[in-house]
Structure 1
Amino acid sequence: MVEYEVVLFDLDGTIIDPKEGITKSVQYALGKMGVAVENCKALESFIGPPLQQSFKEQFGFSDHQANEAISYYRERYKPTGIYENTVYIGMNELLAELKSAGCRLAIATSKPTVFAQNIAEHYDFARYFDVIIGSELDGSRTLKAEVIEETLNQLGNPEISKCVMIGDRKYDIIGAKTNDMESVGVEFGYGSKQELAEANATYIVQTVAQLRDVLMK
């Protein structure tokens, strides 16, 4: 039996581990901007938040510089980085089980919609989702709360008490809360338990198996 009728998933750090594709593409972009970063691990904080926000906060870029860096990022990410992901073990099985149980599933990500759709098709999990919603390539709709709102609109604005948002960063939890929705924070992504707890996630789980226990009761 499912606990929720509508389940929204973040993409990066929740369905897939995007570390290689994102960090190498950020490294490439920074190199083009004259900033050398040798260790890609130092760039893992770029996984989750909107890129413009990360470039500005972490490297002091202006709006113009951040937009320039994003264009360089996409030079590498679009042909190469988009396919440097790993689907978390057990995730496909969970998605299939939720779908079979009658859940409506959606992806709500800060990644541009077109990239999210391509990834979902490439890794063969697009078939589980009713809608896949992300940001726009022009930089609009990057806040997770806005993405969630649009996702709910696309789903016909279901009863919010029957919806849940799943994600690995505080942005997912805060976005859900802004939309009066319950949330599940997953520790197997890129946010810490402390980050998820401080954002007041309804539940916090360590594994895909524990996530299933919350969703299938």
Structure 2
Amino acid sequence: MKNYKVILFDLDGTLTDPKEGITKSVEYALKRMGIDEPNLDNLECFIGPPLHVSFAEYYGFSEAEISKATALYRERFKEKGMYENVPYDGIQKLLAELQQQGYRLAVATSKPTVFAKTIVDYFQIGQYFEHIVGSNLDGTRSAKAEIIQYIIAEYGEYDLNDFIMIGDRKHDLIGANQVGIDAMGVTYGYGDIEELQACNPTYIANTVEQVGEILLRNQQQLLLR
């Protein structure tokens, strides 16, 4: 078992359930663009990937349309959407236990950093993280591999074997694979088991409790050696 030192957590679908805020903000943007999508379940695909990727993939928007839709989305998200969110049951307990065991924790999200920091502070979990890193508002540094690499560079004393990325969508696992660190896929978020397994994760966890069991078991087995 590896003795990880730094744990990177995705935000949406991993630490918190953002469905209401994200889907309602996408619905708002689409309506302002002349597209009516009353079924919010159809907009779950926007949870996880960068906005510009989803607007292009699911609605075929041009670059100009993506910029307009993103601005509209953020208009509502800044006012209401980021607060229409809830931490998953057991997350605060998990983060506290990991911190107590000496793990160093960071958030790696495709969401703009300014929003991510506001969300984790609002839900009183920001104190557990040494770094909260997301994309820039101008759309740069939106790929998960870039975000992960940025965080790794902040921990120059560790090598790649000391890191693990935890997330609920393929983008989290693909980013970890591209950078060369281990990854844990979680099925309680918005990626299904087939999506996660296709990315060859090091571990799969079905609940928040299982995330802790895997990480703390690793620590315990090393202590017993």
Fold in common (TM above 0.5): yes
2 CA distance for matches of 1:216 and 1:10? 19
The equivalent of 1:156 in structure 2 is 156
Cα distance, 1:197–1:157 mapped onto 2, change above 3 Å: farther
How does the TM-score come out when normalised to structure 1?
Answer: 0.98
Question: 1:69 and 1:216 mapped to 2: Cα distance?
Answer: 42
For residue 78 of structure 1, give the secondary structure of its aligned residue in structure 2. helix
2:177 alignment counterpart = 177
**Mapped pair 1:59 → 2:59:** yes
Quote the residue 1:201 is aligned against: 201
Measured in 2, the distance between the counterparts of 1:158 and 1:145 equals 18
Among all aligned residue pairs of Structure 1 and Structure 2, give the percentage whose two residues are the same amino acid: 50
Q: Tell me the distance in 2 between the aligned counterparts of 1:138 and 1:109.
A: 15
Can you list the C-alpha shifts for 1:132-152, whole angstroms capped at 9, x where unaligned? 000000000110000100111
Q: Aligned Cα RMSD in Å?
A: 1.2
Gaps of 5+ in 2: 218-225
Q: State TM-score, norm by structure 2.
A: 0.94
Corresponding pairs, count: 217
Q: Deviations over 1:66-100 (max 9, x none)?
A: 11100000010001001010100001000000001
| Cα offset, 1:155, TM superposition | 3.0
Query: Contact 1:3 / 1:214 at 8 angstroms: preserved in 2?
Result: no
Q: Quote the offset at 1:164 in angstroms.
A: 0.3
Q: Secondary structure in 1 aligned to 2:61?
A: coil
Q: Deviations over 1:141-198 (max 9, x none)?
A: 1100001001111233621101100000000000001111000000000000000000
Whole-angstrom CA distance in 1 between matches of 2:119 and 2:7: 19
What corresponds to 2:210 in structure 1? 210
What residue is the counterpart of 1:122 in the other structure? 122
For residues 11-50 of structure 1, the aligned pairs below 5 Å read 11-50=11-50
- The runs of 4+ residues in structure 1 deviating greater than 6 Å are none
